[in-house]
Amino acid sequence: MDSIDLDPQPILGIGSDKYQILNRFRMDLGVITLVIVRYPIYSLQMNKRLITFLSILSLFVSTLLVPANAAIKVGAKCNKAGITSVTAGKTFKCVKSGKKLVWSKGVSISKPKAVPSPKKTAAFPEVPVPTSFADLYEKREWIAYSVWSKFNKAASQPSVTLPTIEIYKGSNTPNNVKDPKSFLKQVVQLFPGVTLPKKFVVFYWNQKDLDEVTKVALSIVGAANIQKNFDETSGPFVRCNNSTDCNVGGAFIGIDGTAYIGIGLPDNQNENGGNGGVEKVEFYHALQLFNYHSNSLPIPSQGRNLQSVHLPPFWLNLGAENLVSTGLANSQNIDRFRQGTKYKSWTDQVVPNFSKDWVNDYLDIKYLNTNWKDSSFATYRPHALMGQQLSEIFMAIKGPSVLLDFHEQMSKKASFTDAFKEIFGVTWEEAKPELVKVIYDRYLNNY
């Protein structure tokens, strides 16, 4: 039985220190115990009959009571048959033995079995993430969280079966990462159900091994595929950014559906010192390009640093690859991911005259087959800046698959504007004002 404790408040005008100690009763687990509480002195003229009654009652009860925490000995004398006491994890009962009342053997109290707590699962709080261009501006502050949560969810996807991966590296080239397969797995988990190339062949080289790996690649890849890569990229497959150092990556799909990955390492690269960033980017590129192989659509460049008309804008390719790399790297750390989505400092460096008008002009569809196709160094940084922000917005609305959806649509000869309408249900011109507002607001408030 639960204990009941009543603490009467002192009458107004009587100090809190003026209390008289009286006896009162407490019922606890079926045993009456004596406790002491403080009652205010209501008057020094107390009814004599009440005093006499309380005194007799107190004396009577004191002969029956056993303190709840008193030590009990089996066979020791007790006062009233039937009363019980709990001590040391056992329940003792006062029973009649012959002419005596004694404490029985204690009965152990069985402890309730602990109920295991429900297993916690990763759950994301209900937040107002954008779901279309109609609510994009209203929910713009949750773009980064929406994107991060999708990367976080992808990391817990079931394991996937990967195709064969062959790795070749120059004799002086250190191992960039311990296991490239782990990074391919992360990329594939981001796109459940994606169709994979039949095989991946990865080449690593540094400046010392440039000529060596060029020859090895030619013997393995074949002259026809080397020419195919040149036609699509207007550059060699095995290359270095300058005459003294390599820090480059590339991917293309061979005639038979094999994905070829090339990664040139800087000369100061340590053994297993890579973080997988380049591997993730190039594996992702291979998944993009495999759509064109599947649909038998050639994608020759329009000239040096000008991409094929069948490819999405260069800003989308560049922004998506950066987002895939940083998103997978920070899928378990939202704070670090958010830090990377604060673009104000980067914007001020890349576009000193950044304004809403600049954004509006950059997103003008008139640049579709000119500036948006230009992959030269002059446009590289603005494309990277804008492309990553646009890719985040697209992924926040449609999920990771959108980063491949454009390639799937355009590999079937859809234009960029048609693909955009098919994916989002609105035209580029309808979405553009919302994009301008959101990108500029994120710049001003750095979120």
Res. 242 pLDDT band, cuts 50 70 90: confident
Rounded to whole angstroms, the Cα distance separating 251 from 238 reads 11
The residues near 314 (Cβ < 8 Å, ≥ 6 apart) are 307, 372, 373, 374, 375, 379, 383, 387
Q: Is residue 400 part of a domain?
A: yes
Instruction: Encode pLDDT of 106-128 as tens digits.
Output: 777 655 444 333 333 345 567 88
The predicted model gives 256-266 an average pLDDT of 96
Q: Return the pLDDT at 85.
A: 73
C-alpha 10, offset from chain centre: 57
User: What pLDDT, in 10s, does the model give residues 169-190?
Assistant: 999 999 888 889 999 999 999 9
Nearest CA among 330, 338, 327, 316 for reference residue 403: 316
- Report pLDDT for 110: 53
pLDDT of 46 strictly over 80: no
Do 304 and 446 lie in one domain? The reply is yes
Same domain, 152 and 164: no
Residues 408 and 305 occupy one common structural domain: yes
Q: DSSP for 309-338, please give it.
A: TTSPPHHHHHHHHHHHHHHHHTTT-HHHHH
Residue entry with tokens 């790795």: 167
Percent of the chain with pLDDT over 70: 79
Are residues 343 and 270 both part of a single domain? no
pLDDT higher than threshold 70 for residue 385: yes
User: How confident is the model over 19-34, as a mean pLDDT?
Assistant: 35
Whether residues 273 and 313 share a domain: the answer is: no
Which range in 23-37, 242-256, 315-329 is most confidently predicted, on average pLDDT? 315-329
Q: How confident is the model at residue 67 (pLDDT cuts 50, 70, 90)?
A: very low
Q: What is the pLDDT of residue 15?
A: 37
Residues 357 and 420 grouped into a single domain: yes
Q: Is residue 121 assigned to a domain?
A: no
- Within-domain flag for 58: yes
pLDDT surpasses 90 at 78: no
Domain assignment present for 118: no
Same domain for 251 and 312, yes or no, is no
Give the domain-ending residue among 294, 321, 352: 294
Measured distance CA(320)–CA(190) in Å, rounded: 13
Indicate whether 55 pLDDT > 90.
no
Q: Please state the rounded mean pLDDT for residues 79-85.
A: 75
pLDDT at position 52, please?
Answer: 54
Least confident of 78-82, 227-231, 375-379: 78-82
Predicted confidence at residue 401, as pLDDT, reads 96
Backbone angles phi, psi at 100, to 5 degrees: -105, 155
Q: Is 256 found in the same domain as 394?
A: no
198 inside domain = yes
Sign, CA dihedral 327-328-334-340, equals negative
More confident residue, 302 or 49: 302
- Residue 375, phi then psi, degrees to nearest 5: -110, 20
Task: Let me know if residue 248 belongs to a domain.
Answer: yes
Q: Please tell me the predicted confidence (pLDDT) of residue 219.
A: 97
- Look at residue 116 and tell me if it is in a domain: no
- pLDDT for residue 101: 86
End residue of a domain, out of 50, 65, 80: 65
Report how far residue 419's alpha carbon sits from residue 410's, in angstroms, rounded to the nearest whole number.
Answer: 7
How many domains would you assign to the chain?
4
- The encoded tokens of residue 318 equal 């560049």
For the cut 70, the answer to whether the pLDDT of residue 60 exceeds it is no
Q: Quick one: pLDDT band at residue 236, thresholds 50, 70, 90?
A: very high
Q: Are residues 145 and 227 in the same domain?
A: no
Residue 69 has pLDDT above 50, yes or no: no
Residue 115 lies in a domain: no
Range of the domain at 311: 127-156+299-447
Residues 98 and 184 in one domain: no
245 and 312: one domain? no
pLDDT for the residue 125: 64
> Of 264, 294, 324, at which residue does a domain stop?
294
Band the pLDDT of 402: cuts 50, 70, 90: very high
Per residue in 298-341, pLDDT (tens digit) is 999 998 889 999 999 999 999 999 999 999 999 999 999 999 89
Q: Are residues 204 and 171 in the same domain?
A: yes
Give the mean model confidence (pLDDT) for residues 405-424.
98
